[in-house]
Structure 1
Amino acid sequence: MCYDRYVSICKPLHYRTLLGSRACAHMAAAAWACAFLYSLLHTANTFSLPLWQDNALCQFCEIPQILKLSCSKSYLRKLGHLAVGACLVFGCFVFIVFSYVQIFRVVLRIPSEQGRHKVFSTCLPHLAVVSFFLSTAVFSHLKLPSISSPSLDLSLSFLYSVVPPVLNPLIYSLRNQELKAAVWRLMTGCFQKH
């Protein structure tokens, strides 16, 4: 999404060339390949763990919960997961920061305030969703074991795995003026009834 914003704002005349169907297919294939390899790493690691016989998982199959059930020392496995995850997250984070720095440089040169507002209103919701996802995911995997509880782990897993994908279509559909007006009428109608 940040590359789409970058091209549409910083290189609008080259949008069709830079973001054609072939480029979109390559980006989607790269994202799916990274996700597949990362999940393959987790799956292979999980099936190679010796687990205690009488334990059962009572929540999402999150890696920290499975590692707690392991009867072996899993520090190297945790370190490997963190290293691979940190490399992927850091690469995405650098790409997002670079794209948005370029976008903000261009936006600040726009002479009209209305033009700047329009660009910011399309970019800031994406930044909010990405920030929400990254902050909850990082907190979930790097929190201290002393503050860990099954309900907190489940809540954090839900927050970073379900909420951002649900928010994305909502945010992008709210740019539609008719939908904004309908939501506003619905919200004001609900508050007037109570």
Structure 2
Amino acid sequence: MIEKNHTAVTSFILLGFSYNTNVLVILFIIFLLIYVFTLLGNISILLAISCNNDLHKPMYFFLGNLAVLDIIYSTVIAPKMLSTFVRKDKSITHIACIVQMFLFAVLISSESILLSIMAYDRYLAICNALRYQAIMTTRFCIQLVTGAYLCGLLQSLFHTCFTFQLSFCRSEINYFFCDIPPLLKLSCSDTTINEIVLFTFCGFNEGGSALVVLVSYLFIVNSIISIRSDKGRSKAASTCISHFFVFTLYYGSLFFIYLKHSSSQSLEIDRVASIVYTVAIPLLNPIIYSLRNKDVKHSFQKLLGCEFVTL
């Protein structure tokens, strides 16, 4: 009866960040630069990998897919977020909100699984080097990545269907994009089932992926300890530390947002945490996973050199 007294919501308003105009302009410039560098970094990775046959290996195949995911999902979020900084009209249509949430859920879920695949790949390459080529065939790599995308698609379909079957009594989303937790706060329906679905899927997907990454790196660290060369040990340790740093930021922020009861959420803290995996991580991934890689840097230098010669 209560739900019938509410007018159907046909659009939402993304309140974004509630600061004065001067601060919003500064934030617009900062996030615009981050978005541009994110695109440049990930596109550079794709060019370097695609133009160098020496990089047509499983590790770089996964890195290329990671770059594609980062380009798309940062693009799903950033343009609309940037518009909320400078435009008075902060509305987003009901359909656009559904599409944004659906695409974001597909991409973020797929990326979580892809990161675990990359960790498993590094585990095989370091700890089981003799069988690496026999296991990581082209067909198997394609199957792994396809499986990641399909799992992300399935999870997103469940979240989208369960979220948008709710009745919404308010239209103001105190957030900078359409995401599940802030949308649940607008509902005048019982969201218990939605919270269970969210916790179950995210716990299984993100929790399982994080566990695979953690176990893989524990084995990798154990192998690093046995390296006799101090230089080799230092190089391997540096790589693992940087990877683990990104891993902690990414999964830590995801767990903070999605694996807790909605009533315990602080919007200001949630916004900061969500910026980590929507803005910071797509920028950090090409730096940590690729641009610090000697082969990728060499390939990119060759690519630039060829272009300069052509010019």
TM-score range, shorter chain: 0.7 to 0.9
- 2:167–2:187 Cα contact (<8 Å) kept: yes
Counterpart amino acid of 1:173? Answer: L
- Residue 286 (structure 2) aligned to one of 169, 173, 180: 169
- Partners of 2:208 and 2:296 in 1: how far apart? 37
* Preserved CA contact (<8 Å) 2:163 2:194: no
Give, in whole Å, the separation in 2 of the partners of 1:166 and 1:122: 17
Counterparts in 2 of 1:131-142, with a 5 A limit?
Answer: 131-141=248-258, 142=260
Aligned counterparts, 1:20-99, within 5 A? 20-52=137-169, 54-57=170-173, 59-99=176-216
Cα RMSD for the two superposed structures: 2.3
User: How far apart are 1:126 and its partner, in Å?
Assistant: 1.5
- The TM-score, its normalising length taken from structure 2, stands at 0.52
Structure 1: distance between partners of 2:242 and 2:185: 36
Tell me if the contact between 1:9 and 1:103 (Cα under 8 Å) persists in the aligned partners. Answer: yes
CA contact (8 A) 2:195 2:261 kept: no
SS in structure 1 of the partner of residue 172 of structure 2:
coil
Query: 1:39–1:178: structure 2 CA closer, same or farther, 3 Å change rule?
Result: closer
How far apart, CA to CA, are the structure 2 residues paired with 1:84 and 1:178?
35
Any idea what the Cα deviations from partners look like across 1:34-83, whole Å, max 9, x if unmatched? 1111111111012211111x523353111111101100121221122111
Amino acid at match of 1:22: R
Partner of 2:275: 158
Contact 2:123 2:219 in 1 (8 A): yes
Task: Tell me if 1:3 matches 2:120.
Answer: yes
> How far is 1:156 from its partner?
2.3
For the residues of structure 2 that align with 1:48 and 1:5, how far apart are their CA atoms? Answer: 42
| Sequence identity (%) | 32
Out of 225, 249, 260, the position equivalent to 1:108 is 225
- Give yes or no for the alignment of 1:119 onto 2:233: no
Distance 1:5 1:131 in 2: 17
Residue 23 to residue 42, structure 1, CA distance change in 2 (3 Å): same
- The alpha-carbon distance between structure 1 residues 2 and 178, as it changes in their structure 2 partners (threshold 3 A), is closer
Structure 1, unmatched stretches of 5+, are 180-194
Cα offsets for 1:100-129 (capped at 9, x unmatched): 122122221222222211221222221111
* Distance in structure 1 (CA, Å) of the matches to 2:265 and 2:159: 24
CA contact (8 A) 1:133 1:160 kept: yes
- 3-state SS of paired residue (1:88): helix
1:80/1:21 CA distance change after superposition, 3 Å: same
Which deviates the most, 23-32 or 56-65? 56-65
Q: 8 Å contact 1:2–1:100 — kept in the other structure?
A: yes
Q: CA deviation at 1:20?
A: 2.3
Deviation at 1:4, TM superposition (A): 1.9
SS at match of 1:110: coil
Structure 1 residues 146, 92: CA separation in 2 closer, same or farther (over 3 Å shift)?
Answer: closer
TM-score normalised per structure 1: 0.81
